[in-house]
Structure 1
Amino acid sequence: MWVSHRAGPADEPPTPEQMHHWHRRMSPPENEFPAGVGLTALIGRTDEAAVGITQIEAYSTGFQFTLAVRLRQARPNRARGGLFMLISSHAHPGIEIPLEDRLLLGIEYSDGRRASTLKNMRMLGPAAMADGGQLVLVGQGGGGGEQSVHQTYWVSPLPPEGPVTFVLAWPAFGMPESRTVLHAAVIRAAADRTQQLWPPQPAVQSAEPPPPPRPTSGWFAEPPD
């Protein structure tokens, strides 16, 4: 998983503690086995397309779900991965996707905290997670074909008691802004069933790769200052 290593305004490298906290916020804990919530929800539907939430799994630090998209018929202008680009929260270099074509997804907790796919949380850097309370919504893996695609999302922290509101808007496919409410109690109850496999392990710092070999003579033989 790619992450920004910006630690703050001074661009100081993040501390090991910041990086550990960052990874715990940006992805499911690797030392836990999740518990299934047992819910699915169809959050948007027309005669030609449908959007739903499946495979909700809870951890001690948040929950994960899969956004599933289905089209009645393939659209020629969305062939070869074009449909997935509309739902992916990742930027695609050299490809400009109009806002009205994109599937927009957001989450709001009962205490007013909100997050959406319009903001790439990974770009904020470890220092932005210092308070531990900011709601995080980040895309994980995904894929699919011309009529069916999916995208997994990670949400952290766990929701407080009350409603968990999923907000969807996809004007290009006839879906105006709408809200679907789930109850935090079922997610929190599943989190209590999470199994810790072993204590959290310290992050392994990757060794700096060695420089490529240089010619023994000529301009390229001398390294730059």
Structure 2
Amino acid sequence: MPEIHYAEGVAVAISRVDVYREGLEFTVSTFSKEYLGRGPLSSIVRPFGPVADLPEKPGGGLLVMVEFPDGTEVSNRSSRPPRPEKESVLMVESGGEGGASSFHQRYWVSPIPSSGEIRIKFEWVKYGLSGQVVALSARELLGSAESSIQLWQSNP
């Protein structure tokens, strides 16, 4: 059962985590009590929506940040696509769906650390949501990754 964080008519949860040998994909599900206006909730949750709704703007959209055990942080605030050839830790928006009062956004994170916890943090200043954290055990994630089945050989 997901851990749900809520404040002032909005709720946010990690509703799904899929683990692979190369990394993990998690889904952030966001719900609103009321229609948020100006189109679907996705424009407020997703970082590449209207400028007024960008997470880094005061009162902007939902900030999703992932912190690794070594202190490295990645987030949905990036205004450019990640560059795997130059970055050791990646967080990539990998698709989503929803409408005016709910949205489900998937993120790919790589790699899975060898120990400690991956901490997923939420902040949505406009709705008073701040300091919310979901911790995922690297040991449990790696255990799941090791039991995965490789269907094809990786490309060099």
> TM bucket by the smaller chain?
0.7 to 0.9
Structure 1 62/198 Cα, relative in aligned 2: closer, same or farther at 3 Å? same
**Amino-acid identity (%):** 26
Equivalent AA in structure 2 for residue 62 of structure 1: G
The partner residue of 1:62 within 19, 23, 34 is 23
* 2:78 alignment partner in structure 1: 119
Higher CA-based Rg: 1
Does 2:129 match 1:167? no
Per residue, is there more strand in 1 or in 2? 2
* 1:41 alignment partner in structure 2: 3
Is the contact between residue 163 and residue 184 of structure 1 (CA under 8 Å) also seen in structure 2? yes
Structure 1 121/195 Cα, relative in aligned 2: closer, same or farther at 3 Å? farther
Please give the TM-score of this superposition, normalised by the length of structure 2.
Answer: 0.86
Structure 1 segments of 4 or more deviating over 3 A? none
Uncovered stretches (5+) of structure 2, i.e. residues with no partner: none
Report the Cα distance in structure 2 between the residues aligned to 1:121 and 1:112, rounded to whole angstroms. Answer: 22
* 2:44 alignment partner in structure 1: 86
The partner residue of 2:109 within 155, 168, 180 is 155
Is the contact between residue 42 and residue 98 of structure 2 (CA under 8 Å) also seen in structure 1? yes
Is the contact between residue 118 and residue 135 of structure 2 (CA under 8 Å) also seen in structure 1? yes
Is the contact between residue 159 and residue 184 of structure 1 (CA under 8 Å) also seen in structure 2? yes
Is the contact between residue 17 and residue 27 of structure 2 (CA under 8 Å) also seen in structure 1? yes
Structure 1 121/190 Cα, relative in aligned 2: closer, same or farther at 3 Å? farther
Structure 1 107/40 Cα, relative in aligned 2: closer, same or farther at 3 Å? same
What whole-Å deviation, never above 9, does each CA across 1:151-185 have from its counterpart, x for those lacking one?
A: 10000001231121111110112212332322222
TM-aligned CA deviation for residue 189 of structure 1: 1.0
Equivalent AA in structure 1 for residue 15 of structure 2: T
Q: How many residues align?
A: 152
* 1:106 alignment partner in structure 2: 65
Uncovered stretches (5+) of structure 1, i.e. residues with no partner: 1-38, 203-225
Is the contact between residue 121 and residue 138 of structure 1 (CA under 8 Å) also seen in structure 2? no
* 1:146 alignment partner in structure 2: 100
Please give the TM-score of this superposition, normalised by the length of structure 1.
Answer: 0.61
SS in structure 2 of the partner of residue 61 of structure 1: coil
Structure 1 178/126 Cα, relative in aligned 2: closer, same or farther at 3 Å? closer
